[in-house]
Structures are given as C-alpha cells and as structure tokens.
Chains A and B, each alone.
Chain A
Amino acid sequence: MSKKITAFTPFQMFYHKSIIILMFFFILTGLPILSPYFHWIAYCFGVPFDFISSQNGDALTAGIQVCRIVHRVAAMLFLLFSLPFAVTQLLQIAQWHIWPESGAAGIGGLKTSYIDFKHARQGKYNAGQKIAAYVFIVCIAMLAFSGFVLWFRGSFSVATLTLARTLHDIGFALLLPTLLGHMYFGIHPLNRAGFKAMFGTGELNEEEVKSHHPLWYEKIKQNEQ
C-alpha cells in the first residue's frame, strides 16, 4: 500500500457536493428570468404547479414565480453552507494552493498537460485551475451580494437594483463558461485520481502527487522535515 496524501478535507468535499446541487438549481431557475429562450424551463415548473394548485392561471407566470422561490431557497441554503465554509477557509488563507508559486509552469504548463499529455511542473493546482478559482470566488461573491440586494429590492433604490442586476448578470456570464470548463476537466479521464479524491476518500496516492504535482510534493516533504 502506497502512502496517502490528504487532498481535501471532509468539509471541503461536503461543501463541494452541496454547491454542485445548489448551482444546478440556481442555474435552472435563473435561466428563465435571464432570457425568454429559457421560458420552457419555467413552463416545466409552471404547468404542474398550476395543475396541482388549481389556480387556472398562466403557466408562465406560475413557473417564473416557482423559479424565483426555488432560487431563493437555494440562496438560503447557500448562505447556510457558505458562511462556515468561508470562515474556516479564510482562517487558513495563507495555506491556499491557488496563489502564484515560484517555479510553476504557468499557462505554458496547460499545453504540457492537456495538449502534450505530459506532466507539467506545478503545485496542487495548475494555472487554469487557479484562474478558475479566482473567477469562482469573485463571481460567487458578486452574485451573492447582488442577489441579496435583488431579494430585498423593495428596500433599495431603483438605481441600486439596476446596479445589482448588472453585477448579477456579469457574474453569471463569467461564471457559466468557467464552470463548464471546470466540469469538463474535472470529469475528464486525465483527472481520474483528482475526481476520485474529491468524490471519494479525499486522498491521493503519494506517487500521483509526486508525478503530477511536483511542487506540492516538495512542499509536503519540506513540511515533514
């Protein structure tokens, strides 16, 4: 048995899973409000809701209303999970692996990893993952704060509401493509070990870390000494 290295704590894994589920609902219920092209999603909610509640109203209106409520319920759960997560993570901000590292391959390393399929010299995360992390942190913060204003829009001026809507849109427009990229590389067979670590035990084999994440491995060895 080879030595195991902890990549993710159980809390990180739990938070990641809950965010996946919440993101699914956030996006699903946000799209019909984003654009009429996604009104069909609202109808998927509205037609059964209208039937069950015997409202005999308009399916689109009912659907949009259901979407808004689900979006807010997801927001409450997001707040519930994110506050403790943000606090525990911020306390160890110096140990985050997303900060620039000297000796890392950088953007060029992405070509080595994903075009040449060789091991680039990198830490726990490559340049692409780091950029994605920055985008996630900034965009999710933007979405959360502007979402708060949008929820309680009656207490704010129309100008603030407009600013919040614009930030909510910009945040989502940046988040969605990054999220798709993150999902693709996350489930790609190249990332099998990382995927298993995130959704399984949270651990990686020492050999895997040594070959795929040499900078991280060196750091671990240094800390051990």
Chain B
Amino acid sequence: MSTYSMCYDSQACVRCFTCVVSCSVENRLRLQRNGTTALENGVNKSLPQLNYLQPVQREYGKYPESYRITELHHCMHCENSPCATYCPSHAIERRPGGQVVINQDLCVGCRTCQEACPFDVPVYDKATNASYKCIMCYDRVESDLKPACVSSCIANALISGTREEVVAEAKKRAKRYSEQFGKEYIVYGADKINDYVGKTGWMTIVAAEEMEKYGLPKKPVVSSMGIRQTTKAIGIGASAAVALGAGAHFLYWLANRKEVLSAQEKEDGHE
C-alpha cells in the first residue's frame, strides 16, 4: 500500500465546518463499532477528545483593518512522527498507509506525545487516562473509503488519495492560486519540512506569507526533546565511564594492596 495522504486547501475552503461535524460523528459511531460504548452514550456525552478537527479562529491586525483567520487544527501525520518515537509504551504506530494512530488500549496517559508534538495536537482525556488525535480514518481508508472529513467536504477543499496523486493536485492548485492572486502559495508538508517531522501526511495549501497564521510553523521542532535525549546519553555515558573507572581503580588498588598494607603497618608501628 502506498502512502495515503490528505490535503487541506485553505483557499478553496468555505468555512462551513462540515468536516468538523462529520469527524465528530464518525468518531462517535466508531465507539459503537468498536464495541466501546452504546451509540446513545457516544451521542449524549460531549467527549471533546473525539473532535479530531478543531477550527481555531484568531484575529490579526488592528480594527478596522483587522481580519480573521481560521486555522483547521489537526494532526499532520508526520513522516518522522516524534510522538510515536518518544511514546514510552509504544502506543503510537504508523500504519502501512502512513497514518499515525494512537492505540488507547496501550496508552498509559503520560502525555509525552503532547510534549513531543510541535503542532500541539494530542488531547488528553482524564476519564480514559489516554491521549487522542486524528487517525486519518485509517479504518475507513483500509476499507477503500475516504476519510470522513474528506467525504463530507462540499467545496472539494479536502482531498485525499495516494501521496503522488494528492501532491500533484495540491501543487497544481498552489501554482494556479499563485498566478491568480499574485502571491506565493505553498503546499505545506509536501516536501521535507525539517528533520524533526520530515514530510507530513496531511498537507495544507496556504499563502506562504500567512502559513504561520494558519498554525503551520516554518520550523516545527520541540528542541527540549533533543536536549533531553542528549542529556540521557551523557548521563548513561558518564555512568558507564564511572563504572569503568571504578573497576580500573579497584584493580589498581588490588595491585598495590600488599605494599599499602605493609606501609600502613609500619606507620601504625611508629605510632
């Protein structure tokens, strides 16, 4: 199975948020399908952790020139998926299709994924002591269906398919927008962003000058994760060095033991 990818076209999007609603509905139905809970419970409870797509609205500039930008906040399904790398209980896996999925049955609720994620995506739920985030409807995709949000999009602003198809279509659209609006449009995540995340499975077509306002950082990295890895390596290395040094010192002491003891006896004799 080749890598499955998605793309959000912020230019084509009409902000109807049908995707957000269908995502939430799909996740409630999923609870019933998985046998986790009855449909009634899934519908009656608010379960905010199941809203994998969140519209985040921010205002920029000063009134009356101010304008609003709505970021569609969701998991990027990073190629290098730092959340999966740092998860201590191996609860996060990358499916053959490239979807990054948290298995709540294996999650210990330590929230390392929250820390490792440069996009601030995973949400912790106290009731189940587990973290949640978009799974790119891997179950639907593996059954030849489109992700719920994509299938419900009325403006064709969410597209999905094999990576090659999606990247080709997204780049075509970005090129057209660039020509039409006279400013550069990019496909965020189509190419490697940095070593921390790599490419992303969920790309975004956005004006280059506005990408950060859409919650798409130029350098998505959590530097403390690297610092911590280095600290741990130094700690283990220093401990090994001390252990080796202690062993060497003990051998040195053994070799000199007789002389030391006789010298001490002599000293004691003088006293």
Contact = CB atoms under 8 A, between A and B. Distances in A.
Interface in B216-245: 222, 224, 227-228, 231-232, 234-236, 238-239, 241-243, 245
Interface string B35-75: 00000000000000000000000000000000000000000
B253 A190 contact: yes
A154 B242 contact: no
Contacts of A211: 271
Interface of B: 88-91, 105-108, 110-111, 114-115, 120, 124, 126, 222, 224, 227-228, 231-232, 234-236, 238-239, 241-243, 245-246, 249-250, 252-253, 256, 260, 263, 271
Interface string A155-179: 0001001110110011011101110
A189 B271 CA distance: 22
A166 B230 CA distance: 11
A58 B106 contact: yes
Contacts, number: 95
A114 B249 contact: yes
Nearest to A184: B246
Interface residues of A, number: 39
Contacts of B253: 117, 188-190
Given A61-B108, A64-B108, A172-B235, A117 B228 contact: no
Secondary structure type dominating chain A contacts: helix
Given A176-B239, A188-B253, A162 B106 contact: no
Contacts of A117: 253, 256, 260, 263
Given A65-B108, A117-B253, A117-B256, A181 B228 contact: no
B232 A35 contact: yes
A61 B91 contact: yes
Interface string A172-203: 11101110110010001110000000000000
A189 B253 CA distance: 10
A158 B228 contact: no
